[in-house]
Amino acid sequence: QVQLQESGPGLVKSSETLSLTCGVSGYSISRGYYWGWIRQPPGKGLEWIGSIFHSGRTYYNSPLKSRVTISVDTARNQFSLKLTSVTAADTAVYYCARLPHCTSRTACYDGGRYLDYWGQGALVTVSS
Amino acid sequence: QSALTQPASVSGSPGQSIAISCTGTSSDVGGYNFVSWYQQHPGKAPKLMIYDVSNRPSGVSDRFSGSKSGNTASLTISGLQAEDEAVYYCVSYTGSSTPVLFGGGTKLTVL
């Protein structure tokens, strides 16, 4: 059974960098799939942040692109999120997820087609 | 890219059927058969209900079905049950440098 678990500080000061890690069990990141981050501000909808392939290829949501870095550590079977210069607007529950991207051995769609396994989410609050 | 458009809320009585729409453009919903739907209960992580327009993952009730016509996808829930009350999100692949696009979410109320 594939399981994902977010970890990291729950409180970050304004203007500093938010860092989260997603540990994956039950599946080796090196085998494939995209792996992504999604966030949800309190009382609001879901927002895709970005996705990464085990090779390190990344895709980011345009509004966040200048502040986001997603990286992968295949040896530890985990991937990470860094969001710089945070403000109160970055306060949210942050989820990690797995994204299948191929429909066959030859038909693959970079970034991911859908999100099949999700972590439980981690609330990160940005304080002033 | 703008978020996919979903109605803010829908409602139905137990046993009835409802449909939730998800409208995009020819660059996302209309351009690919990669629309997915997620159910989110309060305080919980989203759960995949439909992928690739109309496919159900193992374990998802066959009361949930998906379809697409042009730039609009739909999630239909038949035989409404109290446990179906949740927020539902659609997602589409876009094929662009921002490949994953979410809808704004629809709150389903079971009366």
Predicted confidence (pLDDT) per residue in A64-105, tens digit: 999 999 999 999 999 999 999 999 999 999 999 999 888 887
Are A115 and B93 within 8 A, CB to CB? no
Supply the DSSP symbol for B96.
S
Q: List phi, psi (to 5°) of A8.
A: 150, 175
User: B60 — contact with chain A (CB < 8 Å)?
Assistant: no
**Model confidence at A106: pLDDT above 90:** no
User: B73 — contact with chain A (CB < 8 Å)?
Assistant: no
pLDDT of residue A34: 95
How many C-beta neighbours within 10 Å does residue A77 have?
Answer: 16
B34, B61 contact by CB (below 8 A): no
Distance from C-alpha of B55 to C-alpha of B94, rounded to nearest angstrom:
19
pLDDT of residue A120: 98
Q: Nearest to residue B105, comparing CAs of A95, A41, A64?
A: A41
Q: Nearest to residue B22, comparing CAs of B41, B5, B8, B39?
A: B5
Predicted confidence (pLDDT) per residue in B47-103, tens digit: 999 999 999 999 999 999 999 999 999 999 999 999 999 999 999 999 898 999 999
Residues of B in contact with A46 (CB under 8 A): 38, 40, 46, 89, 102, 105
Residues of A in contact with B104 (CB under 8 A): 45
Distance from C-alpha of B26 to C-alpha of B6, rounded to nearest angstrom:
16
Distance from C-alpha of B106 to C-alpha of B4, rounded to nearest angstrom:
11
pLDDT of residue B1: 72
**Model confidence at B32: pLDDT above 80:** yes
Q: Could you tell me which residues are beta bridge partners of residue A25?
A: A3
Residues of A in contact with B97 (CB under 8 A): 59, 62
User: How many Cα atoms are found within 13 Å in the side-chain-facing hemisphere of B62?
Assistant: 0
Please, which residues have CB within 8 angstroms of residue A90's CB and are 6 or more apart in sequence? Answer: A12, A18, A39, A83, A124, A126
Distance from C-alpha of A112 to C-alpha of B92, rounded to nearest angstrom:
10
User: B41 — contact with chain A (CB < 8 Å)?
Assistant: no
Are A115 and B91 within 8 A, CB to CB? yes
User: B101 — contact with chain A (CB < 8 Å)?
Assistant: yes
Question: What pairing do the DSSP bridges indicate for beta strands A122-127 and A11-13?
Answer: parallel
